[in-house]
Homo-oligomer: A and B are copies of this chain.
Amino acid sequence: MPAHLVPLAVSTLPESCSQCSLGELCLPVGLSNNELSQLDQLVTVRRRVLRGQHLYRGDDPFEAIYAIKTGFFKTDVLLEDGREQVTGFQMAGEILGLDGIGTEKHTCNAVALEDSEVCVIPFHDLENYSREIGALQHHFHKVMSREIVRDHGVMMLLGIMRAEERLAAFLLNLSQRSMARGYSATEFNLRMTRNEIGSYLGLKLETVSRAFSRFQDEGLIAVNQKHIQILNVAGLKKLLSERRT
């Protein structure tokens, strides 16, 4: 359908959880139709966050968690001396803000790496609905648990992998999440800078750049600035399993 024929309303009307195309990637997993319509009452506000803007900052009061509807975020923690540790990159369907529940303040920053839109889920309301909808409660617990497991994976990256292993794991992870969202598993645009990748992987940007170049020389990937094409998935995976030391 030519662009001028697409009804404007499709993109401007509020879209409910029950109609959201993200579906199983987000919170509404295994809910009945009736329960889904309750979710629509829980999630009534959406918020646009332009590239470079903060969704929240460390120390902000915690009031809601956020489901990414469109866009791409990073979360990071800053040390007093200015050093940054990127704790994660989040894409559509993933949940932001879980760090704030424990202290009722956010403990990291969430920054949009491209123009994004998030669904605001007031946390107090979520807990209320969770008490009525067992499936929602259970799924929320799963989301939190998976975040913990994901963090353990990052610890392994940082604790025992070498530079090229870390970058290979990073690319394979992006590839897999891209595929889960219906995009290409082998070709995508990085939303983050080399510096941000490095901060996430515990490396300096030069090291990230060099690893990209080496992967390209070896025919594993094709790099053109932020555009990445994975040419040899098996080769990347092999980097992870084959340990010499």
Contact = CB atoms under 8 A, between A and B. Distances in A.
A20 interface: no
A20 to B, nearest CB: 21
Query: What is the size category of the interface that chain A forms with chain B?
Result: 35 or more
A110 B175 CA distance: 31
Contacts of A12: none
Nearest to A82: B243
B158 A202 contact: yes
Given A107-B149, A134-B131, A155 B87 contact: yes
Contact of A151 (B79, B101, B138, B148): B148
A189 interface: no
Given A81-B243, A85-B160, A130-B137, A102 B154 contact: no
Which of A83, A127, A149, A154 neighbours the largest number of chain B CB atoms within 10 Å of its CB?
A149
A100 to B, nearest CB: 7
Interface string A109-143: 00000000000000000010011101001100111
A108 interface: yes
A144 interface: yes
Nearest to A156: B85
Interface of A: 77, 79-81, 83-85, 87, 98-103, 107-108, 127, 130-132, 134, 137-138, 141-149, 151-152, 154-156, 158-160, 199-202, 241, 243
8 contacts: A83-B243, A98-B148, A101-B144, A103-B145, A127-B134, A127-B141, A151-B154, A160-B199
